[in-house]
Amino acid sequence: METRPATPTFRSHRIVLALLFSVTAINYLDRQTLSVIAPLLQKQLSFSTIGYSRVVFLFMLGYTIGQTLDGKLMDKLGSRLGMFYCVALWSVVSMLHSLVTEVVSLGILRFFLGIAEAGNWPGGVKTVGENFSPERRAFGVGVFNSGSTVGAIVAPPLVVAIMGIWGWRPMFLTIGVTGLVWVLLWNKLYRKDPAPAPPTHLRHFPTRALLGDKAVWGLMLGRFFSDPIWWFYAFWLPEYLVQGRGFSLREVGRTAWIPFAFAGAGGWLGGLASDALIRRGVTPVKARKMVMVIGAILMLCGVPAFRVKSASLALALISIVVFGFTGWASNMLCLSTDLFPGDLVGQVTGLDGTSASIGGMLLTLATGWLVQNVSYGSVFVVTSGMIVCAVAAILWLIPRARRADLA
């Protein structure tokens, strides 16, 4: 039998969303600290740019592995205990960064940070599925996922401010403590899974059986082609503005946050749009697909973004791209809760998250080569083509409803 969501009060809805939103912001804050202080660490710990790229790769490798492992953990332990352990682990690992003395230990810590931080999305999606009815889930996912944009915006000024007062080692300790505080709040406020289901055979459903499901491949390919688009804009936008548009670092500081503000709004509005369609009688899966197609069309603005002469217009078009992406992502993440019973949501989200991370790793490597040998424009074209592939996978492979044999 499927685990049915409870009917919590409006207050408990707000508590759940506040907890998930804040932990997602902390997740991005923890991972962004290194990119902010990388030039300083390269000097103090004496490692090259190649060494730094290997450290980043180790984080991405851990994150890729962790998506599947953490997804299974969430289904086995439940979202309450699963999130508790993942957040506690990544917070301790973040604090241990304050002890590094050379690049090898830094790389090892980033690997384990990636494994632990990967649990945020399987756990968050599973928590939303347990607490929200289908016509409210996409908004719930959009709210908690928008914490990533807030974390990305807040990280640079906050990290620099803490370093200016205490230095980079206490900075890692301070950022890590925020996660431990969240764990205490989670343990106190989210006392138990709201609608625990009796043990079923689905809790031990083998991964290989899931990989034989066409819908799982639709989700995996959809995120394989779409998630790297966010990674490109999140990690390469400042450099593009400097190299491709001639911005100074001061101008980057004044303007680079604007697309991420639009991204936060896109996640909320994309979720509200599909939820409204469901309340008007549209089936959940169809509603998600309709909003995702609109989001994908907006993401095609990446092609004119690099061609226009006006830097302001280019930034506006990029803002539209990431607005469309987060609207797409809110519904993309919800599809697993619409198609699979609660006992499998963590595993399915973990599998498609692993696929997304692999796509992100490949596009990161390709971006470096294309920028050096061709141009930034080629990357904008590639990412626009990728969203077309993502839409094709979703429309072709995702059925209209969940599989009856897994209900």
**390: pLDDT strictly greater than 50:** yes
Q: What does R_g of the chain's alpha carbons equal in angstroms?
A: 20
Nearest to residue 149, comparing CAs of 326, 331, 13?
326
Q: What is the mean pLDDT of the chain?
A: 84
Q: What is the pLDDT of residue 8?
A: 46
The gap from C-alpha 150 to its chain's centroid, in whole angstroms, comes to 12
**In this structure, how many other beta carbons lie within 10 angstroms of the beta carbon of residue 375?**
13
Of 34, 56, 260, which is closest to residue 156 (Cα–Cα)?
34
pLDDT tens-digit readout, 6-51: 444 445 778 889 999 999 999 988 887 887 777 778 788 887 767 7
- Lowest mean pLDDT, pick from 58-67, 79-88, 298-307: 58-67
Confidence class of residue 3 from pLDDT cuts 50, 70 and 90? Answer: very low
Q: Which two tokens stand for residue 374?
A: 């061709």
For residue 252, the tally of other CB atoms under 10 A from its CB is: 18
How much is the pTM?
0.76
List CB contacts of 238: < 8 A, sequence separation 6 or more.
Answer: 252, 256
- What are the start-end ranges of the H helices in 300-341? 302-307, 311-339
Q: What six digits make up the tokens of 232?
A: 């490109």
In this model, does residue 94 exceed pLDDT 70?
yes
How many Cα neighbours within 13 Å face the side chain of 174?
15
pLDDT band at 276 (very low <50, low <70, confident <90, very high): very high
Note the maximum CA span of the chain: 61
Q: How many CA atoms lie within 13 A of 151 on its CB side?
A: 23
In this prediction, residue 361 has a pLDDT band, given cuts at 50, 70 and 90, of confident
**Superfamily covering domain 10-191+198-406:** MFS general substrate transporter like domains (1.20.1250.20)
Residue ranges per domain, the chain?
Answer: 10-191+198-406
